[in-house]
Structures are given as structure tokens and as C-alpha cells.
Amino acid sequence: MTLQEQLSTLLGLEGVQYKHNLDKPTLFQEALANDRGRIRPDGPDDEHKAYQTKLGPDGPLIFYTDPSCTGRPVQDTFAVAWPEIEDQVWWKKDFQKFDPAKYEALRGRIIEHLNNKKGTLYVKDVYAGSDPTYAVPYRFVGEYATHAMFVHNMFPKNIEGVADEDGKRWTMLNVPSFHCDPERDGTPSKRVVLIDLKNRVFLVAGRADYCGVNKKGMFTVMNFVLPNQGHMSMHCSANVGDNDGGAILFGLSGTGKTTLSADPNRKLIGDDEHAWTGNGISNLEDGCYAKLIDLDKEAEPIIAAAMSMPGTLIENVPPLPNKKLADTDPQELDLTDNSITENTRFSYPLDCNPNVMEGAKGPHPDTIVLLTADAFGVLPPVAVLTPKEVMYHFVSGFTAKLAGTEVGVTEPKAAFSACFGAPFMSHFPSVYAKLLAEKMEEHETRCILLNTGWGGGAYGVGKRISIQHTRALLDAALDGELDEGKVEFENHPVFNMQMPTSCPNVPDEILNPRNTWADKDAYDTAANKLRDMFRENFEAKNFGELGIEPVM
């Protein structure tokens, strides 16, 4: 069937014009000419949304989202609760049920809207996954050329050897011009992000034009599809050393996942989304989607250089006062300006990184790293975990928000996100934990908990563990220097973790965090308080009923 016939059969689209698989230079020009919508809270719906810099097509495209959607609209994200899949899905606050009948009616109204409009839709065919044994064809269909360009950046293209492409294909329909009616459509607002797991359709409507919706939505899909095939889907970074030793690093925002995986002595597989299959580790993506706010260009030279490259995409960085974007060099942009959002972003191809594994694939990992940034200052800088402890800490997904980063946060605040990415995990956490445990056992993979947070006291009193010591601890783990028999351990009496008593290039006294506190009683109080938070989270999430054993 032709593209037109396929979209007519699947969605019912008729009389719509398609611009199919345009290259990035053409999409750049299409975005400048045609992408229109609201970019100011009190602005009209027909303003230009895409702009060029002084570099023109030889530099980045700058895109402004609707001001009400500068991040993922989690409260407007749903999956259709078809009876066939309802019991398989981990329903939660940021992934709720949507009534099938209301979904079908809403989808019909969106299609009718597009058919009556007789406009143009941009179509981009890519894949989720770089390994043809599991790669899922992903067809983006949407009103904005910018979104098509983003999808081109972020996902693999031209994967050969994928069987039954039409039978596996997922289709996203992204329609910002259709505004939902909550009373009529059953949506909480005028926008909606809807995943139809039965029919392989992803529907986005209304003011939900944040580019990341087109990325994380497909990650949520892959987190449903891959475990059903026996593969592990992971929110992690991954790299490979000179000895072909692979590593994966799980971690929430601010824990060092991207920074620590970008090691000049190791080749990068990817920085965010991966699969662990019988063939090893492979990237689900072909690009990076980095935060730009307060970017230190000296510390992040790869991202800084990419900002001046063609085919890249800058999102929601404000223009300079009294200077047109067309007259601005991208390196002049004020990356500290959060007047639009703290979540300014930058999309660039993976090959902008200088040291990438060929095909974005690597071997089975020797080492798994669970990253946390403990702002309470009580967890050890490193601990070696048993398989049971891995499952517990993996489903806990702990880090801490810092005092002062949010209004009303005056002391560190615990943050637990199961599997280090709960909003995107469409199966129950135990599904991913079981797969992780099985693959670790099969491939004899070690695991460490690496704390990139504070010592000597909580945030505001103690000091953050130096990046040099963190890298030395990570290097020692990757080189096997913390394996059983290579070093002596002591057990943490509160957290029940095995802490090494020595590590090359790291002072012995910091390895037991209690040693770094002047007031030992205060440390004990704080440690017990954090342990109780772990226990409360474990009970609240009913992890015990899912087969996870409590270890502290």
C-alpha cells in the first residue's frame, strides 16, 4: 500500500497532503515557513514558532513551545484501558486509564478535524532501537516540521533486517491545532497525550508541543513492548571500555548519568534509553536531548560545539534583549535565562559526540551502576550490592532534591522513582527488576551503588563528594578492583550495605560516611531517618507484594 492508503486504513485520514521523509535541511526551511502557534501566554495562535540564528541553515533551528507546555504534560498523559491489556499495565498518577469508548470518539473527532482542514502533515519514518532483532518502526505524522526534524535527530534511520515492518509499526499522530473539550472528550484539559497499546497508535492533541513528548512517549511504548519479548528496557546511559567491558549507569536527573558516561577513555553507546537483549546493550535512540539551563561550556564542550552545527534544535532558550535571533550567533545565547522555563533543551545527533560505539551497540555489561545524589549526606560513596539488594534499590530509585531548588523546599527532600524512570515504566516495576536480576546472573554482572551526593553533613553543611573521587570509585568498580577478594569490606549497620574499606586514589576515611561527620549522633539520626523513608516508600508502593525482598 502507498503511504496515503496506509494512513487512510489505519486512521481514516482523507484529503490530507503529506510531506514524507523530507531531509533535515528541507524540514528546517519548512519549519521556518509553516510552524505556527502560541509562544506567549497572551499571544495569538498564529505566531511563528521556529526561527534561525545568524548561522542560518548552517546552524541550529530554534523552537518555542506553547508556554503551558515546556515539559512533559504528565497530568494529561494516558493509555487506553483496553480489556486485553488492562491487567498488564502499571497504572499510576502520571500514566492513567482512559476509557476506550471516549478514546475512539475523540480520535474520530481529531481525524474529522484534519480531514476538514485539508492541510499538510509531515511524515518521518524512523525506528525505536538500533538492533534489528527488536527495532520497532516508528512513523511520526504531525503538523509541525520541527517535530519531524526532532524525530529524525533522536531516532535511528534505515535499520536493515527488521522483519514484518508493517506489522510492528507504531504511528504517532501529533495535532496541536485540535483543542480538546474536557466535558465532551473526557480529558482533564484542552490537551491530551494518549497511548493505544492495542492498535499501536500514539495520539497527541492540543497544546502539548514540547518536543520531548515525541521521544518519551515512544520510550514508554518500548518499555511495554521489550519486556514482552524477554528484553530489558532501561532508562540509563551506557559505555564500553578498551577491554570491551560494558557498563550501564542508571540514575535520575542530577545524579551524573550523562557526565559520568561521557568518559574520554570509554566509547559511548548512549546517554538515556537502552535495551539489554541476547545480543548485548543497544541504544534505543540516535540522538541526545540535553538540558541547556546554566550549561558550563568548558565542562560540556561537546554540547557547546554542537550548538553551532546544522541540523540541531534548540528549544525554549529566549532571544537576547533587543537583538533578533536572525542576528544572533548561537554561542551568544544566554543559557542562564530561565524566563521561559528551567527546562531549556537541545536536540543533536549522537554522532556529534566524538567517541561513539559503532552502530550504538555494545557487549553485555560487566558492571551496573545505580547512581544517587544523597543530599542528606548519609549514604556511603560506594557500596557493592548483592542481587537482592540490586532489586530493592532498583525499584526504589532514590535520589534527593536539594533545598532551595523548589519553592518551599528548605531541607533535602527524598525522591523515589521506580526503575529510575517511573513515569515511563508501563509494566509493573517487578517485571524490570526480574529481568535485570536474570540478566545479571546469566552474564555474571557486578553492581554498585554510587553516591554522587554529600558527605560530612547534609546539603548546606557538608560538601559534595568530589568528581575526582567519584570517578576514581567508578573506575575501580569498572576495573574489578572492588570485587570480592580484592578488597576488604565493612557492613553499614543502618543501610545494611557492604562498603569497601579502601580504594585507589580515594581517602579511606570518606568510604564510611559516618567518619566524615563531626557529630556522630547527628549522623546516626539522619541515617535512620533516611532508612525509614526507604521503608515507607517500599510499603507505600507495595513492592513486597510484587516479590521484592526488603533489605534494610
Summarised one tens digit per residue, pLDDT across range 311-369 is 999 999 999 999 999 999 999 999 999 999 999 999 999 989 889 999 999 999 999 99
Range scoring the smallest mean pLDDT among 239-253, 343-357, 403-417, 484-498: 403-417
Pick one of 3.50.50.60, 3.40.449.10, 3.90.550.60, 3.20.20.80 as the CATH number of 3-31+69-228: 3.40.449.10
C-alpha radius of gyration, the chain, whole number? 24
Please tell me the distance from the alpha carbon of residue 180 to that of residue 191, in angstroms, as a whole number.
6
Residue 167 has pLDDT above 70, yes or no: yes
Range scoring the smallest mean pLDDT among 38-52, 168-182, 254-268, 434-448: 254-268
Summarised one tens digit per residue, pLDDT across range 97-112 is 999 999 999 999 999 9
The x, y and z cell numbers of residue 417, run together, are 522513582
Range scoring the smallest mean pLDDT among 125-139, 283-297, 369-383: 283-297
User: What class does CATH assign to 232-277+364-546?
Assistant: alpha beta
Catalytic residues: 72, 216, 235, 253, 257-258, 272, 345
pLDDT confidence of residue 264: 84
Residue 382 has pLDDT above 60, yes or no: yes
Q: Count CB neighbours of 441 within 10 A.
A: 10
The x, y and z cell numbers of residue 547, run together, are 516479590
Residue 177 has pLDDT above 70, yes or no: yes
Parse the chain into domains and list their residue ranges.
Answer: 3-31+69-228, 232-277+364-546
Please tell me the distance from the alpha carbon of residue 44 to that of residue 186, in angstroms, as a whole number.
26
Alpha helices in 13-129 (DSSP H): 24-34, 100-117
Summarised one tens digit per residue, pLDDT across range 224-243 is 999 999 999 999 999 999 88
Q: Name every residue whose Cβ is closer than 8 Å to that of residue 225 and which is 6 or more positions away in sequence.
A: 136
C-alpha dihedral sign at 38, 41, 43, 45: positive
Residue 410: pLDDT band by 50, 70, 90 thresholds?
low
CB-CB contact of 269 with 326 (8 Å)? no
Q: Which residues pair with 210 in a beta bridge?
A: none
pLDDT confidence of residue 170: 98
Q: Count CB neighbours of 92 within 10 A.
A: 14
**3-class secondary structure, 120:** strand
Residue 98 CA from chain centroid, whole number: 24
Residue 409 has pLDDT above 50, yes or no: no
Q: In b/e form, how buried is each residue of 260-299, taking b as 16+ CB within 10 angstroms? A: bbbbeebbbbbbbbbbbbebbbbbbbbbbbbbbeebeeee
Mean pLDDT (the chain) is 94
pLDDT confidence of residue 258: 81
Residue 478 has pLDDT above 80, yes or no: yes
pLDDT confidence of residue 402: 65
Please tell me the distance from the alpha carbon of residue 61 to that of residue 306, in angstroms, as a whole number.
12
Amino acid identity for residue 461 in this structure? V
Please tell me the distance from the alpha carbon of residue 413 to that of residue 392, in angstroms, as a whole number.
20
Please tell me the distance from the alpha carbon of residue 355 to that of residue 270, in angstroms, as a whole number.
11
Question: Which DSSP symbol is given to 333?
Answer: S
Residue 405 has pLDDT above 60, yes or no: no
Ramachandran sector of residue 367 (left: φ over 0; alpha: ψ -120 to 50; beta: rest):
beta
- Residue 461: closest CA among 377, 374, 372, 373: 377
Please tell me the distance from the alpha carbon of residue 477 to that of residue 421, in angstroms, as a whole number.
24
Q: How far separated are the first and last CA of the chain, in Å rounded?
A: 58
Q: What is 254-301 written as a DSSP string?
A: TSSHHHHH--TTSEEEESSEEEEETTEEEES-SEEEEE-TT--TTT-H
Backbone angles phi, psi at 465, to 5 degrees: -60, 130
Residue 545 has pLDDT above 80, yes or no: yes
